Amino acid sequence: MLKMENISKVFRTDVVETHALRQFSLNVDEGDFVTVTGPSGSGKTTFLNIAGLLETYSSGTYELDGKDVSNLSDSARSRLRNEKIGFIFQSFNLIPDLNLFDNVDVPLRYRGFNSAERKKRIEEALETVGLSNRMKHLPAQLSGGQQQRVAIARALAGSPRFLLADEPTGNLDSKMAHSVMDLLHNINAQGTTIVMVTHDPGFAKQAKRNIFVRDGQVSENTLVEQDLPSAASA
Ligand SMILES: Nc1ncnc2c1ncn2[C@@H]1O[C@H](COP(=O)(O)OP(=O)(O)O)[C@@H](O)[C@H]1O
Ligand SMILES: [Mg+2]
């Protein structure tokens, strides 16, 4: 599904050069559920942004679904991203003056679905995250946990094959965090490949594979023993 080899990413400003990723290599198989941990500044978000085609890289190769995405035009990248990738940001990134229905609609409009198809997808996605009775609310009228669930609905509404999440539980209380994790497990059980940055070792244990990033490289890559009961079957 995802194959990165020796990806490097350098951020340059007038005064400093930051090597956010150095020879970063990783394979993620279809159906996998990978967590990414590592110290602050180690490159986790940069990796996720590159994986999600939100950012380019300085060198190396990245194949998404067998397709080399290194030399795509901006519009081809956007199209591929809209088609295959859902992204959940730590800070939710909801549009404050759009209600929940319209927030979830934003990426669907880019996909060119007709309005009946969009309506069906939006209602289903909000139903999945337990917010179908709030469709006309504005983000500010919701708790942080609810806003994060809207962000998840927005990421899911386009049925992405690949879901990338940057500390999706980082701003949530423990009960909300667990309900978000249950949701991600269900989505993974239905076939969506997930890569999630998290600081929570308990959540990392529930995934299928854990990678640890240090100084812009994968320093550990471990398969989680699968004898734990999966939240998806609960
Ligand atoms: N847009 C940017 N411009 C300059 N430096 C950046 C930018 N984004 C990230 N960095 C730097 O790259 C390094 C990795 O950052 P990041 O990927 O955000 O780490 P993490 O998510 O693990 O905390 C850090 O040193 C950070 O300051
Ligand atoms: Mg980060």
Which residue, judged by its Cα, is nearest atom 8 of ligand 1?
Answer: 46
Average pLDDT over the chain reads: 91
Chain CA centroid to CA 139, Å: 20
pLDDT for the residue numbered 198: 93
Compute the distance between CA of residue 89 and CA of residue 148 in angstroms, rounded to an integer.
9
Confidence band (pLDDT; 50, 70, 90) for 106? very high
Confidence band (pLDDT; 50, 70, 90) for 228? low
Q: Is 17 exposed, middle or buried (0-12, 13-18, 19+ CB in 10 A)?
A: exposed
| CA 46 / ligand 2 centre spacing (Å) | 7
| CA 40 / ligand 1 centre spacing (Å) | 9
Chain CA centroid to CA 2, Å: 13
| Pocket (CB within 6 angstroms of ligand 1) | 11, 18, 20, 38, 40-46
Testing ligand 1's pocket by substitution, the residue of 14, 15, 45 carrying the most ligand atoms inside 8 A of its CB is 45
Using the predicted structure, report yes or no on whether residue 98 has a pLDDT greater than 50: yes
Task: Specify the 3-state DSSP secondary structure of 233.
Answer: helix
Of all ligands present, the nearest one to the C-alpha of 39 is 1
pLDDT for the residue numbered 232: 54
pLDDT for the residue numbered 234: 47
76-85 pLDDT, tens digit each: 998 899 889 9
Q: DSSP states of 162-223 as a string?
A: EEEEESTTTTS-HHHHHHHHHHHHHHHHTT-EEEEE-S-HHHHHHSSEEEEEETTEEEEEEE
Which residue, judged by its Cα, is nearest atom 1 of ligand 1?
Answer: 11
Residues surrounding ion ligand 2 at CB below 5 Å: 44-45
Cβ-contact 84, 161 below 8 angstroms: yes
Of all ligands present, the nearest one to the C-alpha of 41 is 1
| CA 18 / ligand 1 centre spacing (Å) | 8
**Domains of the chain, first to last:** 29-58+73-223 (3.40.50.300)
Using the predicted structure, report yes or no on whether residue 227 has a pLDDT greater than 70: no
Distances from the Cα of 22 to the Cαs of 58, 153, 186, in angstroms? 10, 33, 34
pLDDT for the residue numbered 229: 58
What number is the average pLDDT over the span 177-198?
A: 90
Token duo for residue 165 = 């999440």
20-74 pLDDT, tens digit each: 999 999 999 999 999 999 999 999 999 999 999 999 999 999 999 999 999 899 9
Distances from the Cα of 102 to the Cαs of 83, 123, 208, in angstroms? 19, 11, 34
Quick one: what percent of the chain has pLDDT higher than 90?
Answer: 67
Name the one residue in this structure whose structure tokens are 């519009």: 75
Q: Given the CA of residue 166, which atom of ligand 1 is nearest to it?
A: 21
Compute the distance between CA of residue 167 and CA of residue 45 in angstroms, rounded to an integer.
9
117-175 pLDDT, tens digit each: 999 999 999 988 889 999 999 999 998 888 988 998 999 898 899 999 999 888 777 88
Of all ligands present, the nearest one to the C-alpha of 166 is 2
Total length of the chain: 234
Name the one residue in this structure whose structure tokens are 């100084």: 215
pLDDT for the residue numbered 12: 92
| H or E element, residue 3 | strand 2-12
